[in-house]
Structure 1
Amino acid sequence: MKTVKVVAAVICDSIKEKNKIFATARGYGDLKGGWEFPGGKVEEGETSQEALVREIQEELDTLIEVGPYIDTIEYDYPTFHLSMDCFYCEVKEGHLELKEAEAAKWLTKDNIDDVAWLPADVTLIDKIKADMN
C-alpha cells in the first residue's frame, strides 16, 4: 500500500492558551465535507515544518508560526496509508482565507466534537482536548 506523507496544522488562537482551534471542511475529493486540520503533502527535500508553512500559505493565504509537535498519526485509508505529522501553530500574518476548503470554524474544547472529523484527524482530538483551556 502506498504511503502518503502529510502535515497538519492545529492552528490555535494562542499556542500558549489554546482556547480555540481552527478546523476546515474538505472542499474536494472522496472525503469532501469531512472536517480536518489544514495542511497537505510534504514535498521532496522539505521538513514537515517547511511543508506546513508552505501549505497554509497556499490553502489559507496566511503565514503561520509552527509550534510544538503533537503527534504523528498513522492511518490506513482503503487506497493508501496516511502518515501525518501534526503541530500546534498560530497565525503570524494574514486572515485564514479559504482557498480550497468549503467551510471553516473556530472550535473550543466544548464544541470540538460537534463536527464530523475525518477518520485520521479524529484520532488526534482527545490529545488536543487535553491540551486546551
Structure 2
Amino acid sequence: MSEIRKHIDVVAGAILRGGRVYGACRSYGDYAGTWEFTGGKVEPGETDEAALIREIREELGIEVTVEELLGTLDHDYPKFHMNMRLYICRHVSGEPELRVHSEGRWLGLQDLYTVRWFEADAELIRRLEAYLR
C-alpha cells in the first residue's frame, strides 16, 4: 500500500531590485542552511498575488508588486509533495528584515550559483538567469 504524502501548494517571489534578485537562507527545520525565494502557502480563497504580497510582507517587511509567472515546479521531498509557482516581483519599498531567515542578500547574475538552493529550484534558477539576461 502506498503512503499518502502531504501536498503543499506554495507561491514564491523572485524579488528584483536593480538587476539583482533577493535570496534568503532558511534558518529552521530539515532544510536549514538552504537558500530559497521568499513565499509561502496559499490560504483557502486567497489568490496567488495576495498570498505572495502577504508572505513577503510577513517574512521580510517589504512591499512588492507581482508582475508575471516565471515558472512552476512539482517536486517530491521525503516528507511531502510540493507544487510551487515562482513569480517575478518588483521591490517597491522597505529594506528586507531577517524575520524568519538566518541570512538574506541581493544576488546578481554572477552570484546565483554561489549559494545552495533547494534542489527542486534548479530549473527555476535557470529560467531566472535567462530572464535577467
TM-score calculated relative to the size of structure 2 = 0.92
Q: What's 1:70 paired with? A: 70
Q: What's 2:6 paired with? A: 2
Task: Kindly report which structure 2 residues correspond to 1:32-51, keeping only aligned pairs within 5 A, or say none.
Answer: 32-51=32-51
Unpaired runs of at least 5, structure 1: none
Letter in 1 for 2:80: F
| Larger Rg, first or second structure (1 or 2) | 2
Instruction: Name the SS for the 1:89 alignment partner.
Output: strand
Distance in 1 (CA, whole Å) between partners of 2:92 and 2:56 is: 11
Structure 1 runs of 4+ aligned residues shifted over 3 Å read none
Distance in 2 (CA, whole Å) between partners of 1:96 and 1:90 is: 13
Listed one character per residue, the Cα deviations across residues 7-51 of structure 1 (whole Å, up to 9, x for unaligned) are: 11100115xxxx211100001111011000011111111111110
**Alignment partner of 1:11 out of 12, 15, 23:** 15
Distance in 1 (CA, whole Å) between partners of 2:24 and 2:81 is: 21
Letter in 2 for 1:11: I
Q: How many positions carry a matched residue from both structures?
A: 129
Deviation at 1:121, TM superposition (A): 2.0
Q: CA RMSD in A?
A: 1.0
Distance in 1 (CA, whole Å) between partners of 2:125 and 2:108 is: 11
Distance in 1 (CA, whole Å) between partners of 2:22 and 2:48 is: 19
Instruction: Name the SS for the 1:114 alignment partner.
Output: coil
Distance in 1 (CA, whole Å) between partners of 2:74 and 2:108 is: 25
Letter in 2 for 1:93: S
Deviation at 1:123, TM superposition (A): 2.5
TM-score calculated relative to the size of structure 1 = 0.92
Looking at secondary structure, tell me which structure has more strand per residue: 2
